[in-house]
Copies of this chain bind each other. A is one copy, B any other.
Amino acid sequence: MVGRIYNFSAGPCTLPLEALERARDQFVDYRGTGMSLIEMSHRSKMVDGVHCRAIELVRELLSVPDDFSVLFLGGGATMQFSMIPANLLRDGASADYTHSGSWAKKAIADAKRLGKVNVIWSGEEANFTTLPEPSSVTAGDGAAYLHLTSNETIGGIQWKDFPNVDVPLVSDMSSDIFSRPLPLERFGIVYAGAQKNIGPAGVGLVLIRRDMLERCPDDMPLYQNYRKHADANSMLNTPPVFQIWMISLVLEWLLGQGGLSWAQQMAEQRSALLYAMIDKHSGFYRCPVNRSVASVMNVVWRCPGEELEAQFIAEAAEQGMNGLKGHRSVGGCRASIYNAMPIEGAQALAQFMDDFAQKHG
Contact = CB atoms under 8 A, between A and B. Distances in A.
Interface of A: 1-5, 7, 9-15, 17, 20-21, 23-24, 27-29, 32-36, 38-44, 47, 73-79, 81-82, 86, 106, 109-110, 113-114, 193, 195, 200-203, 219-224, 236-243, 246, 320, 322-323, 328
One complex includes copies of this chain to the number of: 2
4 smallest A-B Cβ distances: which pairs? A202-B240, A82-B221, A5-B34, A74-B74
Nearest to A14: B39
Given A78-B236, A79-B75, A32 B1 contact: yes
Given A27-B27, A106-B222, 17 more contacts: A1-B32, A4-B34, A7-B39, A9-B39, A12-B42, A24-B27, A38-B201, A74-B203, A75-B237, A81-B221, A82-B221, A110-B222, A195-B238, A202-B240, A202-B243, A240-B240, A240-B243
Contacts of A114: 221
Given A201-B240, A241-B201, A12 B32 contact: no
Contacts of A74: 74-76, 79, 202-203, 240
A9 B35 CA distance: 11
Contacts of A24: 24, 27-28
Contacts of A243: 202, 240, 242
A224 to B, nearest CB: 7
A238 B39 contact: no
Contacts of A200: 38, 240-242
A15 B81 CA distance: 34
Given A17-B28, A323-B41, A3 B220 contact: no
Contact of A193 (B35, B238, B242): B238
